[in-house]
Amino acid sequence: MTDATTALATGDLAATQTSYMAQVRRKRMYSGITLLIFVLLMVSGFNIADARNAGGFWDGLHNIFDFPYAVVSEAWAKRDQLPAHMLHYVPALVETINIAAVSTLIGALLGLVLSLLSTRGMALWPALMPAFRRIMDIMRAVPEIVIALVLIYMMGGGPVPAVVAIAFHTGGALGKLFSEVNENASLQPIEGLHSVGATWFQRMWLGVIPQVAPNYLSYALLRFEINIRASAILGFVGAGGIGYELKNSMSWGMGKFDEAAAIFLLLFATIMAVDQLSSHYRNRLTQGART
Amino acid sequence: MTMLLTGTDLKQQAEGLLARKRLAAIAVPTVILAYFIYIFFAFDIAGLSQRLRLDNAATLIADSYSYKTEVTRDHRTGATTVAIEGERKGQYPADAPPDWVQVQGNRTVIDMGQGQTITLLPDNAVTYVIPGYGVIQAQLSNGRITSNLTEPIPDWINASGTRIAITTDTGRLTITRSKTEVFRYFWGWEMFWFALDSPYANHGVVSLLTGPQLDPARSNIAGMWNDFWMNPVWRHADTAWAISETILMAFLGTFGAALIALPLAFIAARNFTPNRVARFGIRRLFDFVRGVDALIWTIVLSRAFGPGPLTGALAILVTDSGTFGKIFSEALENVDDKQIEGIASTGAKPVQRYRFGVIPQITPILLSQILYFLESNTRSATIIGAITGGGIGLLLTQAMQTQKDWEEVTFYIILVILMVIAMDWLSGMLRRRLIQGSGG
């Protein structure tokens, strides 16, 4: 840019044009090289993944609808039993939703405390702020399945390992989002409360929470949406709920696909419903905060 | 002042409002508490203490930072072997046991640390010298184990006619009818650097780097690297492969999804597609692939493509193309029309209008979303890998299913966390640089 401006100042139009064209060419070359590297990475990555997969991509491509077709045709043949199957799996679905709800609640409480402890001006021990930030980073980095598998080994299958695993990760993830919200909150109410001798808990409860509650709720709802999916997946590795039932009905294979179809439908409907509900309430919360 | 003007009406109103607020402040925690109480019974938290296997937990914790070396004497053959964790791969050669095991003729003297010594004597006899307690002697003869133990027997000794087990801080001695076993515990992860058959095992770092060449065929550093990388117990090369496979799944899935979602997002955006039917169709398609969820896609796709990293990558790709489609089309609807009009006024064709009027506006949003998903998909790829069988997720589940090498599980968990933190850092750095760079 500096070349162009100096050239313009001397009034030499031709020099301006050449320097501008040179810059454009250089920029194009850089984007071209970046694009080339990206394409190479994608193609070679695909080839590596294809080579290491049990079945190849091109062989599998025309089989892709075989399994959905088998499930749908079997479910259609036994369509009169479908409502009964769906009813049968409702308790498992309730367990999955409960796992997501409890872990979101616990995770949100954890994240609330951690975020307050790691925000400037609100921290109870300002010297420990970086430590709490690192704790949140690590909590966020732990995939749910790691904790879930270890706990399943220790306490057997069931909802509790899933709750602990999801809540741990949620605590870190929400903690980070919450602390971003906290940074935009006004510190004046806290100072005011401090001057009248309020304790740390009172300052947070009366000075911070009313400011940030709508944004917190909105993030927690988004997390609930994510956690429903997570709790279904963890069920598949043994942590109870509808994922576990899905794994069982899948392992029975042909002849039980109507039950798998019922579970697919329930799971799909639940995820869609929670998505819609949460986005509706999130819109209301953020719009309410704006006015 | 106002109270005088409007009388008691305002006061009542204010009090009513306060009362309602106070009620809400109590109601929310009460509802949450009630829900927790319901969960307490629904999830049978009270029964958890019975289901909790504390011995499993203790094994897991002890194994994650320490290992045991077993000295075993078979009572039928009389042969003595020394092996780390009792595994064939960790067996010491018979002529070169570790220095705390000494073979003196027909006696084997085992130094247990803290002044304790176990001596395996001929005729299946054992003595255990424990400072502060005394000398325990035991022998197997005619199928019965006799010992000099007298009442009261302390609780760390478990003795009967067919089995004696003595557990101390440093190890454990077990005598049964078939064999005598001595466990000695050590800190750390066994054979993490080199397997026992490597010439570099049991040497310090300094002596390896500065000392004489141990293997005439290769230099110390090259040999050390080869023996470490090809370690048959820890398989570092395979682990590195698994990590890169997981990252590959996340990379292919995320960027593939973005490539598919971008053109479709133009169809789903109101200001680019006046055709309501096409818009509605594409939007429902996005909702459908997003709603079906990665779990179901993984199952469906692994039926077609078999287990492996490609299946995982495709599962991420399909799910995220729905999510990206939604985000991208919302970004496109918020595009500023003035830039497009400006480009159009110079006589640009539609493709040029998109290229110079739209893409520069949405690039920062798209890139930051894609990079954010790249990080979160690294975590998903670990989980999907555990289900479909690829990457570090598979290694983790395999190590857990064998239920014995918990130090490997610990190692994999640390690697996974480091991997996610590294991806988080990388995606954050790229996000900052690309978004600032594209503005200038």
Per residue in B88-97, pLDDT tens? 777 787 777 7
With a CB cutoff of 8 Å and minimum separation 6, the contacts of A161 are A147, A148, A151, A152, A155, A234, A239
Helix (H) or strand (E) holding B392: helix B391-402
Place of tokens 């570099």: B200
Selected residue with higher pLDDT from A173 and B157: A173
Give the angle subtended at the CA of B336 by the CAs of B335 and B340, to the nearest 5°: 100
Minimum-distance CB partner of A149 among B44, B390, B400: B400
Place of tokens 């690697």: B415
Q: Is the pLDDT of residue B12 over 60?
A: yes
Judged by CB atoms closer than 8 Å, whether chains meet at B304 and A46 is answered as no
**What is residue B243's predicted lDDT score, i.e. its pLDDT?**
92
The model's confidence at residue A5, banded by pLDDT at 50, 70 and 90, is low
User: Based on the domain organization, do B201 and B181 belong to the same domain?
Assistant: no
With a CB cutoff of 8 Å and minimum separation 6, the contacts of B147 are B136, B137, B138, B139, B159, B164
Least confident residue range of A93-102, B258-267, B291-300? B291-300
CB atoms within 10 A of CB B259: 14
- What is the average pLDDT across B339-360? 85
The model's confidence at residue B398, banded by pLDDT at 50, 70 and 90, is confident
Instruction: Choose the mutation target among B243, B310, B426 for the interface with A, i.e. most A CBs under 10 Å.
Output: B310
Handedness of CA B1, B6, B9, B10 (dihedral sign): negative
Residues of chain A with CATH 1.10.3720.10: 77-290
Within a domain: B353:
yes
Q: Which amino acid is at B439?
A: G
Quote the tokens at residue A81.
Answer: 């039993």
User: Based on the domain organization, do B198 and B218 belong to the same domain?
Assistant: yes
Minimum-distance CB partner of A49 among B252, B287, B300: B252
Minimum-distance CB partner of A49 among B43, B310, B383: B310
Within a domain: B1:
no
- In angstroms, the separation between the Cα of residue B110 and the nearest Cα of chain A is 34
Phi, psi of B142 (to 5 degrees): 55, 40
Selected residue with higher pLDDT from B152 and B2: B152
Place of tokens 């109507």: A258
Q: Top-level CATH class of A77-290?
A: mainly alpha
Give the angle subtended at the CA of B80 by the CAs of B79 and B83, to the nearest 5°: 135
With a CB cutoff of 8 Å and minimum separation 6, the contacts of B106 are B121, B122
Q: Is the pLDDT of residue A7 over 70?
A: no
Collapsed DSSP state (helix, strand, coil) of residue B137: strand
Minimum-distance CB partner of A153 among B32, B48, B403: B403
User: Based on the domain organization, do B213 and B77 belong to the same domain?
Assistant: no
Place of tokens 């006015």: A291
Residues recorded for chain B: 440
Contact, B85 vs B68, CB < 8 A? yes
Phi, psi of B281 (to 5 degrees): -60, -50
Instruction: Choose the mutation target among B21, B383, B409 for the interface with A, i.e. most A CBs under 10 Å.
Output: B383
Chain A hits for B393, Cβ within 8 Å: 145
Q: What is the mean pLDDT of chain A?
A: 86
Contact, B248 vs A49, CB < 8 A? yes
Q: Is the pLDDT of residue A6 over 70?
A: no
Q: Residues of B numbered 303-362 whose beta carbons fall under 8 angstroms of chain A's beta carbons: which are they?
A: 303-311, 313
C-alpha span between A215 and B439 (Å, rounded):
29
The model's confidence at residue B4, banded by pLDDT at 50, 70 and 90, is low
Chain A hits for B291, Cβ within 8 Å: 268, 271-272, 275
B308 closest CA partner among B366, B399, B384:
B384
Q: Residues of B numbered 278-307 whose beta carbons fall under 8 angstroms of chain A's beta carbons: which are they?
A: 287, 290-296, 299-301, 303-307
- What is the average pLDDT across B359-387? 88
Chain B hits for A101, Cβ within 8 Å: 35
pLDDT per position as a tens digit, B282-296: 988 998 888 888 888
**What is residue B316's predicted lDDT score, i.e. its pLDDT?**
93
DSSP letter string, B174-190: EE-SSEEEEEEEEES-T
User: Based on the domain organization, do B178 and B205 belong to the same domain?
Assistant: no
**What is residue A179's predicted lDDT score, i.e. its pLDDT?**
92
CA nearest to A145 within chain B: B383
Contact, A169 vs A106, CB < 8 A? no
Collapsed DSSP state (helix, strand, coil) of residue B352: helix
User: Based on the domain organization, do B248 and B141 belong to the same domain?
Assistant: no
Q: What's B421's domain CATH number? A: 1.10.3720.10
CA nearest to A27 within chain B: B438
**What is residue A4's predicted lDDT score, i.e. its pLDDT?**
52
- What is the average pLDDT across A252-278? 84
CA nearest to A91 within chain B: B42
User: Based on the domain organization, do B254 and B157 belong to the same domain?
Assistant: no
- B402 — contact with chain A (CB < 8 Å)? no
Most confident of A173-177, B141-145, B383-387: A173-177
C-alpha span between B399 and B168 (Å, rounded):
29
Collapsed DSSP state (helix, strand, coil) of residue A189: helix
Quote the tokens at residue A242.
Answer: 């509808």
- B434 — contact with chain A (CB < 8 Å)? no
Quote the tokens at residue A291.
Answer: 């006015």
Instruction: Choose the mutation target among B45, B55, B295 for the interface with A, i.e. most A CBs under 10 Å.
Output: B295
Within a domain: B29:
no
Minimum-distance CB partner of B421 among A137, A163, A237: A137
**What is residue A9's predicted lDDT score, i.e. its pLDDT?**
58
| Beta-bridge mates of residue A182 | none
Helix (H) or strand (E) holding B78: none
**What is residue B315's predicted lDDT score, i.e. its pLDDT?**
92
Place of tokens 């993984």: B298
Minimum-distance CB partner of B308 among A38, A52, A145: A52
C-alpha span between B360 and B348 (Å, rounded):
16
Phi, psi of B134 (to 5 degrees): 140, -160
Q: Which amino acid is at B121?
A: L
Dihedral angle at the C-alpha atoms of B156, B158, B159, B164, nearest 10 degrees? -90
Q: What long-range pairs does B430-433 form, CB within 8 A, spacing at least 24? A: B430/B371, B431/B367, B431/B368, B431/B371, B431/B372
**What is residue A112's predicted lDDT score, i.e. its pLDDT?**
93
Strands B101-104 and B80-84: unpaired
The model's confidence at residue B1, banded by pLDDT at 50, 70 and 90, is very low
Selected residue with higher pLDDT from A241 and B88: A241
Q: Residues of B numbered 198-217 whose beta carbons fall under 8 angstroms of chain A's beta carbons: which are they?
A: none
- What is the average pLDDT across B269-291? 86
- B431 — contact with chain A (CB < 8 Å)? no
Least confident residue range of A6-20, A50-64, A226-240? A6-20
User: Based on the domain organization, do B143 and B199 belong to the same domain?
Assistant: no
Domain boundary among B201, B227, B253: B227
The model's confidence at residue A290, banded by pLDDT at 50, 70 and 90, is very low
* Cis amide leading into B152 (omega within 30): yes
Strands B107-113 and B116-121: antiparallel
**What is residue A40's predicted lDDT score, i.e. its pLDDT?**
93
Chain B hits for A95, Cβ within 8 Å: 42
Domain with B91 in it: 68-187
Minimum-distance CB partner of A154 among B57, B416, B421: B57
C-alpha span between B52 and A272 (Å, rounded):
36
**What is residue B127's predicted lDDT score, i.e. its pLDDT?**
86
Contact, A207 vs A189, CB < 8 A? yes
Contact, B171 vs B162, CB < 8 A? no
- In angstroms, the separation between the Cα of residue A82 and the nearest Cα of chain B is 18
**What is residue A170's predicted lDDT score, i.e. its pLDDT?**
95
CA nearest to B55 within chain A: A154
- In angstroms, the separation between the Cα of residue A80 and the nearest Cα of chain B is 23
- What is the average pLDDT across B6-23? 84
CB atoms within 10 A of CB B184: 24
C-alpha span between B81 and B94 (Å, rounded):
7
Judged by CB atoms closer than 8 Å, whether chains meet at A105 and B32 is answered as yes
- What is the average pLDDT across A243-247? 87
**Alpha helices (H) in A53-89, listed in sequence order:** 57-61, 66-77, 82-88
- ipTM associated with this complex: 0.83
Contact, B165 vs B157, CB < 8 A? yes
CA nearest to B310 within chain A: A49
- In angstroms, the separation between the Cα of residue B336 and the nearest Cα of chain A is 22
Minimum-distance CB partner of A155 among B53, B308, B421: B53
**What is residue B248's predicted lDDT score, i.e. its pLDDT?**
93
- What is the average pLDDT across B384-397? 87
Minimum-distance CB partner of B304 among A60, A98, A142: A60
Contact, B120 vs B80, CB < 8 A? yes
**What is residue B7's predicted lDDT score, i.e. its pLDDT?**
67
Within a domain: B78:
yes
Strands (DSSP E) contained in B29-106 are: 66-74, 80-84, 101-104
**What is residue A56's predicted lDDT score, i.e. its pLDDT?**
78
- B406 — contact with chain A (CB < 8 Å)? no
Q: For chain A, how many helices (H) and strands (E)?
A: 14, 0
C-alpha span between B380 and B386 (Å, rounded):
10
CA nearest to A109 within chain B: B32
Least confident residue range of A163-172, A187-196, B85-94? B85-94
Q: Tell me how far the alpha carbon of residue A138 is from its chain's centroid.
A: 16
Minimum-distance CB partner of A143 among B290, B305, B416: B416
Number of domains in chain B: 3
**What is residue B440's predicted lDDT score, i.e. its pLDDT?**
36
Residues recorded for chain A: 291
- In angstroms, the separation between the Cα of residue B337 and the nearest Cα of chain A is 24
Least confident residue range of A4-8, A244-248, B38-42? A4-8
Phi, psi of B44 (to 5 degrees): 55, 55
B411 closest CA partner among B258, B239, B284, B161:
B239
Place of tokens 């010594």: B117
Strands B171-175 and B80-84: unpaired
Judged by CB atoms closer than 8 Å, whether chains meet at A137 and B424 is answered as yes
User: Based on the domain organization, do B341 and B199 belong to the same domain?
Assistant: no
First-to-final CA distance of chain B:
59
- What is the average pLDDT across A259-282? 87
Q: What Cα–Cα distance (Å) separates residue B62 from each residue in A86, B55, B300, B396?
A: 45, 10, 40, 18
Q: What is the mean pLDDT of chain B?
A: 83
Q: Is the pLDDT of residue A188 over 60?
A: yes
Strands B171-175 and B164-167: antiparallel
CB atoms within 10 A of CB B23: 11
Q: Is the pLDDT of residue A28 over 80?
A: yes
Within a domain: B45:
no
CB atoms within 10 A of CB A29: 10
pLDDT per position as a tens digit, B35-58: 999 988 888 887 877 777 777 777
Judged by CB atoms closer than 8 Å, whether chains meet at B305 and A55 is answered as yes
**What is residue A3's predicted lDDT score, i.e. its pLDDT?**
54
